Structure 1
């Protein structure tokens, strides 16, 4: 019994050291563009009956994301939504530290950042078209955990971004007069 316990402890300790090393020595290329070679990437779009200005106002107000998007918890942006500023938030059980890389009012936003075993790049564009705004989101994810669980992350990312877009549409259109 002691041998089994000792063997189990050695295996668990080895795994903890391996995961610690993977986290410590992982490096990711920060970019304004998604990583086309990442193991997980998704591009989605939605039409929203509102202006790009309203979409910008909602999306750049990070501290209030959780009031309309339940997949986000505890978002905190100190300062304004501008390139170089960072914010912290939680999603899917992960704590994420993101840095804004693009902040073009009424047109484009983007951020990137690490979470446990992963690194993501998010890019959003807002294009006005005949009484509505087309919102596009592109995201890539990479990292040792993403590679290990590629199918789960791919499915989760697609589902998460669909929910995010639908929640954004509801929030943007809820007080609109049609």
Structure 2
């Protein structure tokens, strides 16, 4: 029994050391565009029956994401909504620190940030189409954990972004209906 405990402790220690080395040695390149060679890439879009200004107003209010996006129970921006500002948010049990690399009012917002074993780049595009808005989102994810669980990350990421787009649509169209009364 003592031998089993020692071997188990040795295996756990080796795994912990390996994970620590992977985390410390990981370096990710922050770019304005998603990484096209990342193991997980998701691109989606949705048409929202609301003006781009309404959609942007809701989307850019980071501190209130949790009011309409239930997969994000907490979010706090650390400064103005502009390139270079950072924000902290929680989703799927992870706390993430992200930094905006682009903010172009009513047109585009993008950020990147690491989380345990992963690094993601999110880009959102807001395209005015008369009194509607086409919202496109693209995201790349990479890192040792993402490579290890690529299919799982792809599935979860797609579902999460679909939820986010639909929640933004619902909130924006509700706001637009209230505003037009």
* 52-61 vs 108-117, greater mean Cα deviation: 52-61
The residue correspondences of 1:165-176 to structure 2 (distance < 5 A) are 165-176=165-176
The residue correspondences of 1:68-107 to structure 2 (distance < 5 A) are 68-107=68-107
Aligned residues: 178
Superposed displacement of residue 3, structure 1: 0.2
Q: Deviations over 1:27-47 (max 9, x none)?
A: 000001000000000000000
Gaps of 5+ in 1: none
Q: Deviations over 1:30-71 (max 9, x none)?
A: 001000000000000000011111111111111100111011
**Distance in 1 (alpha carbons) for counterparts of 2:8 and 2:20:** 18
The residue correspondences of 1:1-178 to structure 2 (distance < 5 A) are 1-177=1-177
**Distance in 2 (alpha carbons) for counterparts of 1:100 and 1:55:** 18
Q: Is the 8 A contact 2:54 2:176 kept in 1?
A: no
SS of the residue aligned with 1:38?
coil
**Distance in 1 (alpha carbons) for counterparts of 2:27 and 2:161:** 25
SS of the residue aligned with 1:90?
strand
Gaps of 5+ in 2: none
**Distance in 2 (alpha carbons) for counterparts of 1:13 and 1:92:** 27
- Give the alignment's TM-score, normalised by structure 2: 0.96
**Distance in 1 (alpha carbons) for counterparts of 2:77 and 2:131:** 31
